[in-house]
């Protein structure tokens, strides 16, 4: 999974949120590839609900939290698959 984009302090929320949401969607696609479809569906619903509301700092924080949860889930699944192959 790609590393999160660096935060640009001059970037507005309206500029940052589409990039952040794309990172969330990319992470969800990776979760699905790893077989965690139900987790991906649940997190996708959370992300869409947050993204479709006001684009404010709370929305950005929520999407960042969801991205973090996705990254941890992907990392855990990849480690488990690696251990089962080894």
- Give residue limits of the domains in the chain: 13-85
Residue 26 is predicted with a pLDDT of 98
pTM beyond 0.75, yes or no = yes
Residue 7 is predicted with a pLDDT of 57
User: At 6, is the pLDDT very low, low, confident or very high (cuts 50, 70, 90)?
Assistant: low
CB 24 within 8 A of CB 47: yes
Q: Between 4 and 21, whose confidence is greater?
A: 21
- The residue written with tokens 């947050």 in the block is 50
Q: How many CB atoms lie within 10 A of CB 35?
A: 11
d(CA 75, CA 78): 5
- The pLDDT tens digits for 21-63 are 999 999 999 999 999 999 999 999 999 999 999 999 999 999 9
């Amino acid at each position: 999974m790609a590393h999160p984009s660096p935060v640009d302090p001059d970037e507005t929320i309206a500029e940052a949120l589409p990039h952040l949401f794309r990172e969330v969607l990319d992470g969800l696609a990776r979760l699905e590839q790893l077989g965690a479809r139900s987790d991906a569906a649940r997190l996708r619903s959370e992300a869409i609900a947050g993204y479709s509301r006001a684009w404010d700092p709370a929305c950005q924080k929520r999407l960042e939290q969801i991205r973090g949860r996705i990254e941890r889930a992907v990392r855990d699944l990849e480690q488990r698959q690696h251990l089962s192959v080894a």
